[in-house]
Each structure stands twice: as C-alpha cells, then as structure tokens.
Chains A and B, each alone.
Chain A
C-alpha cells in the first residue's frame, strides 16, 4: 500500500511512566501503519500497553520518544489549540461509554457539534440523523440511565460519528457487553466502516472481536508490537509467542493445559485450515493413506473476516518416525501447523 492513504504512521513510539522514582515502560519502540478505510485491531493481554497505545493516537497520552503521524502530521508537535482541532476528527468510544448522565441522548450526541461551533438548529438535525444511523432516534429524549448497555454504546457511537471524524478509536468498546450485544455492536461498526469508509481502530483483549471484524491486527505484548499483519495470516500462522497464545482455543477451567495428551512425553500440534481447502476429510485420509492415527483433543470452526476457518488440536503418535510421517502428510496437504506442547 502507498503512504498517501495512510491515516496513522507510528514511528518508534515509546512511553515511560515515572512514579515516585520508579520507571515503567508501557510502550517500547512501537512502529505501526494504519491505512484509510481499514478496521485495524490492536490486541493484547491486560497490562500489555494497548490502552496506552490507543491514547497516543489522539494524544490523551504524551509520548517520550518517537512520532505519531496523523495524515502526515506529527501530533506530538501540535500546539494545544491545533491539537483540539485535530481531535475533532479523531473520535473515540470507551468500555464505560462515558455518556453524560445529566444530559439526554440527543444532548449527548450534540456535544461534539457544539465544540465544533455548529449552530443549534444544525446540531439538532445532525444529531437526530446520527441517532438514525445507530437505530435509536426514538430514544432521543431519554436519559442514558434508562438505556441498556448496548443502547448506551450505540449512543456513544452516534456521538462519535456526529463530527464526521476521519478515524474512530474504540477502546474495549464491547468488553462490558454480553456476547449477543457485542455481536450487534461489531456488526454496526462493520457497517459504518463499509458505508462511510471510516477507518476504525479497535482495541480489545478478545481474539474473537479481531476475527469478526478486523482486516489487520497488531499484537501488543509487554509494550512491544510483537506481530502485525492480516488477521487470517496471523490466525493460521502466528509467529510470535503472544500470537500463538491468542489464537489457541480458550483454555478450559480447572486445567492448566487443556491440550495435554494421554502421555506427558507426547507431542501436541494445532492444525489450522481455511474453509475453502477443508473439503477434504484429511484425518480420515491420514489414517487410510499412512496408517498412522492421531488423537483429537479439541476442534472448532470460526469465521475470520467472513471466511470460515477451522482449527484442531491433535496429539501425535508416540513413535518419532510416525510423528514425522504425520507432520509431512499434513504439510503436503497445505495445512498450517503449530507446535503446542513446545
């Protein structure tokens, strides 16, 4: 991709917190490019630095080193007046919604327009229009306390869209919502991305959110961007340790490693395959073609960027030679293989 459609270019971004003589490096030399029109995911465990990272994108956090370029402009160098102007085109939604409880839904959505200096009549018109986008125009005179969590986030999205931003930052926007509502909010964000060509940056700790709507993803681990790439590539073939941890099926309760084989010495692998190449019953074929068997420990399918993907965790036979035969067979079939027990 060319750099002229680049929304964000982060170079060597480093953030150090100093508190009572102690230093904590929240971000370490992060380089990232985010392009126009994409949904970019930033994923990491809690404390990995992803919330700090998203706050550098609108300079709610100042950085100690490096540059955050927004359409080619280093926002770290802006004077506060220019920074405020530019923030009007970088809107943000939050896990805790951050709506004003003392104002109606409509008044909440009108706020950014007032900051932009729009007159009252136009503000009302625009705010109602935005509430239609999120399907809540009938709630315009309600107060946020009367709304459900999903509705509150919809209002927050309407408020974020009101000022016609160039990018929408979403900081764990679905983390306080149940799975069904999460799905609906993600669906809405996807639709907004498509119809308004709005670039969206999504911060999350859930791989399922990234799989559902992100085009590309950066994995943040201990303040560093350990892996950046297309979601489907990372899903099938994660290269970093943090990436591997994220794509593996969720650990079940009560067991430290749910993928332990029958023998502690055994080798366990994860196989990933996309829906298109999965027409073949490759486990059955394995047995027929090679005479070797594998023990299936876990299997599921998920949709990554609209394409069905499957993954399976299997235990290999004990014999070293047999293991190589199985691995070679899978590789020949074009499956992505990841060693789990290592």
Chain B
C-alpha cells in the first residue's frame, strides 16, 4: 500500500469515529426523550395519552422504515441548510442523527418497558410524583438495558456512516468506495472492511461489558 493511502485510511478512521460519536450523541439527545415519551404515553403508563403516543409512534415508524440510503438523499437540502454543505464529515452527521433517532427511541422504549410495573407501584405508594418516578425509579433501573441498547445503536450508526461515503461523506466507507471499489484496489477494500468490523466489535463488546458491570441483579 502506498503511504498516502495509509494516511487516508488513518484519516478515515478518525472521521468515522467522529461521525459515529456525534451522530450517536445527537441521536440520543433527541431519541432518548422521544423514547421516554413513547413509554410514558403508552396505555396504562404514567402519562397515558393516546394522541401523543400515536403521533410520535407514527413518525418514528415512518422514519424507521425509510432505507438509510434514501434518507441520505432526501436530507441533502436539509443538511445544506443546516451546515452549509452536503458533503464531508460534518454534513454526514446530520443524516446519521436523523436516521438513528427513531431507532434510539424504540430501543429506549423497550428498555424502559423491562422495568417491572411493581417498582412503579411501589414508587407511587411512597408518594413519589411522576417526574420523580421517571428519574429516580424507572431510568436508573433501566440503565444496564439502556447501555446494551446503546452499544447496538452505536454499531448501527457506525455502519450507516460507511454508507454515507456514497454521497460524499468522509470516513472509512468513502475510502473503501473510492480506492477499493472504483480503483479496484482489493487490499484497500478488505483493510477498510476489516477495520469497520473491528470497530463494530469493539463498540459491541464495550457496551456488553459496561452493561454487565452496571447490572446489580
């Protein structure tokens, strides 16, 4: 491999990490509250509200069923409006975030659903208010499961970030595409794929390990 390719790969690794980190971070900033809203507004839960639940639920489902590649293209004008450009690492973070939000929201909802209803009943019987119950009973009890969900979500965002290479995003995906696919450099293709696999595995293992360490039961 030429030294300039090695340099490009190194840069690609950093870009991939950046995209994944910020994409997942922003996706959680919006997706976590959405997941909490989905959970709380569901039937029989603390803030049961059919309209809110249905509206948020439909938006999440529609966004989730869009293939990510289509979403990438659809979001180009929005991305340009937001960051002034539709290519490059920063620009890619926008569709990554939007694509991951519904996935995060559903994952959070399902983690919260694992908290036994008896815990909530106990909290109510102590005279805790609904907000206190969410922050001091439900979310702390769901932490190990939320951790596990986060590992899966981050790995998904990492995979998506590679796809963004197609429309001019940076990172390892773009390198695999440009050097490996268009220029028939098989070695580069395989190296980048191997790097992506290793990164996904690291994220997954770290998430599982952290979840295990945090789980007290």
Contact = CB atoms under 8 A, between A and B. Distances in A.
B125 A101 contact: no
Contacts of A103: 140, 216
Contact of A115 (B128, B143, B214, B215): B128
B144 A88 contact: no
Contact of A92 (B125, B137, B140): B125
A98 B122 contact: yes
A20 B195 CA distance: 55
A98 B132 CA distance: 17
B124 interface: yes
Most buried by A among B125, B136, B137, B215: B125
A60 interface: yes
A90 to B, nearest CB: 7
A101 B126 contact: no
Interface string B95-134: 0000000000000000000001011011111111100100
Interface in B149-194: none
A94 B118 contact: yes
A88 B118 contact: no
Given A115-B132, A145-B216, A100 B126 contact: no
Given A114-B136, A115-B132, A144-B217, A100 B127 contact: no
Chain A interface extent, by class: 20 to 34
Given A98-B116, A102-B140, A145-B216, A84 B121 contact: no
Contacts of A92: 122, 125
A87 B125 contact: yes
B141 interface: yes
A66 to B, nearest CB: 21
A169 B126 CA distance: 12
Given A87-B127, A145-B216, A100 B141 contact: yes
A127 to B, nearest CB: 13
A330 interface: no
A200 to B, nearest CB: 15
Most buried by B among A92, A94, A98: A98
Contact of B126 (A87, A96, A143, A144): A87
A311 interface: no
Chain B interface mostly helix, strand, loop or mixed?
Answer: helix
B140 A100 contact: yes
A106 to B, nearest CB: 13
Contacts of B126: 87-88, 91, 111-112, 115, 163
B217 A143 contact: yes
Given A91-B126, A96-B116, A101 B121 contact: no
Nearest to B139: A102
Interface string B8-50: 0000000000000000000000000000000000000000000
A102 B144 contact: yes
B216 A111 contact: no
Most buried by B among A86, A102, A116: A102
A271 B193 CA distance: 84
Interface in A140-172: 143-145, 163, 169
Given A87-B125, A88-B126, A94-B121, 16 more contacts: A84-B129, A87-B127, A91-B125, A94-B118, A100-B119, A100-B137, A101-B141, A102-B214, A111-B136, A112-B126, A115-B128, A115-B132, A143-B217, A145-B217, A163-B126, A169-B125
Interface of A: 58, 60, 83-88, 90-92, 94, 96, 98, 100-103, 111-112, 114-116, 143-145, 163, 169
